[in-house]
Amino acid sequence: MDALILQTLNGLDKGSAYALIALGLTIIFGTLGVVNFAHGTLFMLGAFCAVTLQRIIGISETIIDPTKKDFLGNPLKVEVPYLQAWFGHDTAAAITNWSVPLSLLLTVPVMVGIGVVMERGLIKHFYKRSHADQILVTFGLAIVLQEVIKHFFGANPIPTPAPAEFAGSIDFGTMLGFPPNAIVYPYWRMIYFLFSLFVIGGVFAFLQFTTFGMVVRAGMADRETVGLLGINIDRRFTFMFGLAAVVAGTAGAMYTPINSPNFHMGMDFLVLSFVVVVVGGMGSLPGAVLSGFLLGILESYASMNWIKDIIPGIDQIIIYVIAIVVLLTRPRGLMGRKGVMED
């Protein structure tokens, strides 16, 4: 029982990442009708926003400290971060410590910018072309962005630690009456899960309770009619693309303490996120979220030892197996609407 709870918890944080990426993918597909193969790359770019902020904070000047001498008796050169020179030691240490959550402040504007430029500059020209062309051009874009990141940040994973306050783990088991150390869950993963719930809730509330969201929903249902009513639906859809980029980007930025970012993390997540979208139902936002968490948790169940003893290797392929079964038995996905993209 405790193992089951532990695996459920473990599945939640991976599921959160899947759900957030799949949510963005679905927003883009639902509004613009474009299959975005570069969406995983947006996730990766968000993660590298966190890395960039970490680097910016670390920029330092070299000054000569006259009070200290090195072993040859010369004045000692010390590297002092500008941050420390400006704000004093304590503030600088706090900012460095909290760099990952703070990076959201950088990630959001950057991702809006990237999303809008991408939509206006490239994807706009592909509305009329076939899905295959859309897949291909966004695939090309993904390669380019990935290689650009590799050029600037190198190919190795870059560790970006969570704030020290969240570095430990919480012993869930003792709260529920299990012996100590039975269910241990890192704080940051819990934060990530709560964060994803917050973002998902925010997106849904935005679509449900604002006028802007209402127009967007109307546009998703019937774009032409909304256009005829004198509403510039294209601009709103561009905004939605930016929003999807932000969702993916912040998901990536917050994920960095869980998994050190490298340049191909986006593609690794993308393939799975597509599967998530398909299982949830193309164009269904609740479906994407639900199947994201579902697949994340199932994947983590499948990695339990006694299940692996029954079916060896199931943990590697469970998501694909589920996707294949769903696609063949219920092509519109778990929560897809009837008749939408069913062939």
Partner 1 sequence: MLGLGKKDLMFLLIVVLLTLTAPILLNPFPEGSAMAQFNAGYPDLMQRIAIFAIFAVGFNILFGLTGYLSFGHAAFIGVGSYAMVWMMKLLTMNILPGLILSIVMGGLFAVVIGYVSLRRSGIYFSILTLAFAQMCFNMAYSVLTPITGGENGLGPQIADPRILDAVNTSGSVPEVNLFGLSMRATYKMDLWGRLFQFNAGYYVCGILSVLMFYLALRIFRSPFGMMLRAIKSNQHRLNYTGLNSKPYMLAAFVISGMYAGLAGGLMAAMDPLAGADRMQWSASGEVVLMVILGGVGTMLGPVLGAGFIKYFENIFSKINDSVLHDWFSIFPKWLENLLVGILHPFVGQGWNLTLGVLFMLVVIFLPGGLIEGGQRIGRLFRRKPDAKGPAPASTPAE
Which parts of this chain interact with partner 1 (CB under 8 A)? 35, 122, 125, 130-133, 135-137, 139-144, 146-148, 151, 267, 271, 274-275, 278, 282, 312-313, 316-317, 320-321, 323-324, 327-328, 331, 341, 343
Report the amino acid identity of residue 251.
A
- Whether residue 286 contacts residue 333, with contact meaning beta carbons closer than 8 Å, is answered with no
How far is residue 104's CA from residue 102's CA, in Å, rounded to a whole number? 5
List all residues 6 or more positions away from 257 whose beta carbon is below 8 Å from its beta carbon.
100, 160, 161, 162, 166, 188
Residue placing its CB nearer to partner 1 in the complex, 170 or 341 = 341
Residue placing its CB nearer to partner 1 in the complex, 69 or 131 = 131
Shortest distance (Å) from residue 155 CB to partner 1: 9
Shortest distance (Å) from residue 168 CB to partner 1: 31
Secondary structure string (H, E, C) spanning 171-194: EHHHHHCCCCCCCEEEHHHHHHHH
List all residues 6 or more positions away from 233 whose beta carbon is below 8 Å from its beta carbon.
215, 219, 223, 226, 227
Shortest distance (Å) from residue 38 CB to partner 1: 11
Residue placing its CB nearer to partner 1 in the complex, 127 or 320 = 320
Residue placing its CB nearer to partner 1 in the complex, 226 or 319 = 319
Q: HSE (CB half, 13 Å, CA atoms) of 167?
A: 7
Shortest distance (Å) from residue 131 CB to partner 1: 5
What's the angle, vertex CA 187, arms to CA 15 and CA 268, rounded to 5?
35
Shortest distance (Å) from residue 246 CB to partner 1: 24
Residue placing its CB nearer to partner 1 in the complex, 62 or 329 = 329
Shortest distance (Å) from residue 81 CB to partner 1: 29
Residue placing its CB nearer to partner 1 in the complex, 141 or 170 = 141
DSSP 264: T
